[in-house]
Amino acid sequence: MGELGKKLGLDELSGGAAGISKALLAEFIGNLLLNLFGCGACINVTQGADAAPNIVLVALAFGLAVFAIVSAIGHVSGGHVNPAVTAGMAATGKIKPVRGVLYVIAQCAGAAAGSGLLKAFTPDTVAGKLGTTGLGKNVTQLQGFGIEFFLGFVLVFVVCGVCDANKPDSKATAPLAIGLTVTLGHLLAVDYTGSAMNPARSFGSALVASDWSDHWVYWAGPVAGGVAAALLYVHGFSAPPSEVPSPRYRPVAGDEKELKRLDGKNDDMA
């Protein structure tokens, strides 16, 4: 395989097919669960399709879902479950382009499957748009793009911070920090854009509900914000490499003379 193929990541398809297959399955399942639980919280089964969603409930559902998913699959695929995160990692060389493209495909397929399950579980009379993201009243496409850019930026900036290889102590709290960031984003922006923060999440619900209104906003905004955040963090905020000196040990008997002296003492004692 040529040098270009290695840079693109084609070697991962041949040399590590089992590993990448497991990672793709993890991303698929993660996005399936995200759309099932998160978008499910947008539906009010008791009051019907016309009822306004409970913003706090929706924010907690998405945040807790991300927390649980990243905790479960982070060691398998990195726990991206979001094309904006994947784009940021690819832009900074954390993953190779081929893996990035395959991740996005798996994420979108999983989100569509999750929304499909949600539709199957929900009575038609209350299903509404199945949690499809949409711009709020009087919110322009440019404003929507700006909000989603900001949300994607903040999310990926936090991801980069808690997953910094030079900050190993922060990795234990990474799922919680990422989940809380998603919760905060929804508390802020549900009324503005539906607070996608995640193109795959919007794609899945839009596909099943057949509603593509302003859909480009939910790809362009988070992806651009995610790439910008990743580049800024890597080039401006990365933690410095650890400079803890390696331990130095003084041997009990450091040279031949010392060894002979000790041997002599042992002979006298005998």
The pLDDT, as a whole number, for residue 47 is 83
Note the pLDDT tens digit of each residue in 164-173.
Answer: 999 988 889 9
Phi, psi of 81 (to 5 degrees): 40, 35
Residue 104 within a domain: yes
Rg over CA atoms, the chain = 25
pLDDT score, position 8: 74
What percentage of the chain exceeds 70 in pLDDT? 86
d(CA 227, CA 156) in angstroms, rounded, equals 8
Q: How far apart are CA 104 and CA 27, in angstroms?
A: 9
Q: Is residue 255 part of a domain?
A: no
The total domain count for the chain is: 1
Query: Quick one: pLDDT at residue 260?
Result: 60
What is residue 246's predicted lDDT score, i.e. its pLDDT? 45
Which residue range is the domain that position 143 belongs to?
13-237
pLDDT at 221: 98
Does 185 reside within a domain? yes
Domain at 227, CATH number: 1.20.1080.10
pLDDT classification of 52: cutoffs 50, 70, 90: confident
Give 200 or 253, the one with higher predicted confidence.
Answer: 200
Classify residue 217: in a domain, yes or no.
Answer: yes
- In this prediction, residue 174 has a pLDDT band, given cuts at 50, 70 and 90, of very high
Least confident among 13-22, 33-42, 151-160, 197-206:
13-22
Q: Which amino acid is at 192?
A: Y
pLDDT digits (tens, 9 = 90+) for 179-234: 999 999 999 999 999 999 999 999 999 999 999 999 999 999 999 999 999 999 99
173 domain-assigned: yes
Query: Which pLDDT does position 53 carry in this prediction?
Result: 86
* Res 56 pLDDT > 50: yes
Residue 223 and residue 98: Cα distance in Å, rounded?
Answer: 17
pLDDT of residue 265 exceeding 70? no
Is 251 a domain residue?
Answer: no
Helices vs. strands in the chain: H and E counts, helices first: 13, 0
- Looking at residue 46, its pLDDT comes to 84
Is 230 part of any domain? yes
Query: What would the pLDDT profile of 128-150 be if each residue is shown by its tens digit?
Result: 889 999 999 999 999 999 999 99
Residue 267 lies in a domain: no
pLDDT at 128: 86
Read off the pTM: 0.85
pLDDT at 51 (0 to 100) = 82
